[in-house]
């Protein structure tokens, strides 16, 4: 979903979300640091790990939130964040893979442009350093400045229109 700072807030505060953790997945280096991933060569994506209570929130609901917080037509990064680290992807377990693929197919049929977000097999998840977790609370001025500067919300509005889900944290922020 691009930068994990903004990806976190798409899920934070929603009913049924147990935890959201920023980190890395999909690479070939164990326990990478932010600097390792940022330098390149590890193959990792910046990701979030979303733990949810399936009683009030189904996996399909999680996918709905995901899609409305990503530009599904851009595989070169997201918003102002460019490069392999910021590619959008869904990492799905074997049990989740069919639902994820179906959600992608539904969107592919709906839009004229191809959906370029891959559904990948779940990969080892490595949490990012503590200072990245809940960054929007630790440094709100920098977070909101970054978010506005990247024009994330404007692009999501352009793609999703009325379907766009307001980021609950962002909506309560600045």
Give the separation between CA 40 and CA 147, rounded to whole angstroms.
Answer: 23
| 3 catalytic per annotation | yes
The catalytic position among 3, 6, 80, 150 is: 3
Q: Are the beta carbons of 5 and 146 closer than 8 angstroms?
A: yes
- Residue pair 2/162 in contact (Cβ under 8 Å)? The answer is no
Torsion of CA 52, 92, 37, 2, to 10 degrees: -70
Known catalytic residues are: 3
């Amino acid at each position: 979903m691009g930068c994990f700072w903004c990806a976190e807030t798409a899920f934070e505060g929603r009913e049924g979300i147990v935890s959201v953790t920023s980190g890395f997945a999909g690479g070939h280096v164990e326990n990478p640091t932010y600097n390792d991933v940022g330098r390149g060569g590890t193959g990792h994506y910046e990701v979030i790990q979303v733990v949810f209570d399936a009683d009030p929130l189904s996996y399909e609901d999680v996918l709905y939130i995901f899609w409305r917080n990503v530009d599904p037509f851009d595989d070169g990064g997201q918003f102002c964040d460019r490069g392999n680290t910021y590619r959008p992807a869904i990492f799905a377990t074997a049990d989740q893979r069919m639902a994820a693929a179906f959600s992608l197919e539904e969107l592919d049929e709906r839009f004229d442009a191809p959906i370029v977000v891959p559904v990948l097999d779940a990969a080892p998840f490595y949490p990012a350093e503590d200072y990245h977790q809940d960054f929007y609370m630790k440094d709100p001025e920098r977070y909101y400045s970054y978010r506005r500067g990247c024009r994330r919300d404007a692009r999501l509005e352009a793609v999703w229109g009325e379907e766009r889900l307001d980021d609950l944290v962002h909506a309560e922020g600045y």
